[in-house]
Amino acid sequence: MYSEELISHPELQPLMRKYKKKFPSISLESNMMYLGWLGYQGMGLDVDDVKVILEKCLKENEYFKVKNMKGKGKIQDFPVDWWEGKVVYNRYKS
């Protein structure tokens, strides 16, 4: 799913509001851009996958970031639509 669609998806909106309220200093939209497809890059997650991430964060008082975003394949084969990344969780300290 494309990043913009994830951010504006009605099923994710309540979770995103709770996330923003609980973690006001964390930029949610910029972190969510890598969860979906942004042009030829991103993890390409769907709504259910993102729900799991947001619910885990809210339940365990952790925020997420996407690390190690890099393309799989050779640069001369661009555009490469397979990107790898890793969602990491960090304990939130207010």
Here the tokens at position 55 are: 């619910």
Pair of tokens at residue 67: 């690390």
How many domains in the chain?
1
* Domain, as residue range, for 49: 3-91
pLDDT reading at 78 higher than 90: no
Alpha-carbon gap, residue 71 to 59, rounded angstroms: 32
75-91: b (≥16 Cβ within 10 Å) or e? eeeeeeeebebebeeee
pLDDT at residue number 79: 55
Give which of 93, 7, 6, 12 is closest to 55, Cα–Cα: 12
pTM: 0.84
pLDDT tier for residue 85 given thresholds of 50, 70 and 90: confident
Question: What is the per-residue pLDDT for 42?
Answer: 79
pLDDT digits 0-9 by tens, 21-68: 999 999 998 889 989 887 767 788 999 999 999 999 999 999 999 887
